[in-house]
Chain A
Amino acid sequence: AQSVTQLGSHVSVSEGALVLLRCNYSSSVPPYLFWYVQYPNQGLQLLLKYTTGATLVKGINGFEAEFKKSETSFHLTKPSAHMSDAAEYFCAVSDNPSSASKIIFGSGTRLSIRP
């Protein structure tokens, strides 16, 4: 069975500092991995995804994530935090997103940005 663990329910960084949100997954088959962002009182929107190929994936708003099979990780990073990055971030895994099957979401990490 697939699962996702997000380390840290709340992360706080200063504006301009590095953002690192941690995600580890469990999957019996090669995974498809996603990061979604949820701004206050809104639905989720896709930030980036890994399906196959290059393990370093770039997304919107300067975020990127690296798939590390040996560590079963897909951590999200951004070199310099901006106030507008304050939101909740969800890591998710699927075994086959080309079918209408389930995507398993992590419990989320709330990112706060200090001025």
Chain B
Amino acid sequence: NAGVTQTPKFQVLKTGQSMTLQCAQDMNHNSMYWYRQDPGMGLRLIYYSASEGTTDKGEVPNGYNVSRLNKREFSLRLESAAPSQTSVYFCASSEGAGRGYNEQFFGPGTRLTVL
């Protein structure tokens, strides 16, 4: 049981390049989330998916798109990377609505640098 996995672990992009961050969970969770972590700012929600087939914007969605590919996978895409998107990105999952307490489980993160 791997929990939440993320690829890649590290990535360096040039301004204007695109890339997709991958996330998968094997806990049969319904809900999945993408956060970014910046020094002194904690975690900020980019997008989330309450259930397969749905996605919603979080606090900082600009410059990102997401795809809930199936129940297991939730990808985050940067179409035209900017230096302001240099950050550590975390994917998380939880059981979902109506299932009692909704603890989020986190992946190990992707460290992205945009030059």
Q: In the bound complex, do residue B90 and residue A98 qualify as a contact, i.e. CB atoms below 8 Å apart?
A: no
Looking at A42, A43, A108, the one whose CB has the most chain B CB atoms below 10 A away is A43
Whether the pair A102, B45 counts as a contact (CB closer than 8 A) is yes
User: Within 8 Å CB of B31, what residues of A?
Assistant: 100
B30 contacts partner chain A, Cβ-Cβ < 8 Å:
yes
Interface size on B, residues (CB 8 A): 30
Grouping DSSP codes into helix (H, G, I), strand (E, B) and loop, the B interface class, with mixed when no group exceeds half, is: loop
Q: How far is the CB of A40 from chain B (nearest CB, A)?
A: 11
* Known pairs A9-B40, A107-B40, A107-B41; A100 contacts B51 (CB<8 A): yes
The interface size bin for chain A is 20 to 34
Q: Does A46 contact B (CB under 8 A)?
A: yes
Which B positions have Cβ atoms within 8 angstroms of A? 4, 30-31, 40-45, 48, 50-51, 58-59, 90, 92, 94, 96-104, 106-109
**Interface CB pairs A-B, < 8 A, 22:** A9-B40, A42-B108, A42-B109, A43-B90, A43-B106, A43-B107, A44-B90, A45-B106, A90-B42, A97-B102, A98-B100, A99-B97, A99-B98, A99-B102, A100-B48, A100-B50, A100-B94, A100-B97, A102-B48, A102-B59, A107-B41, A108-B42
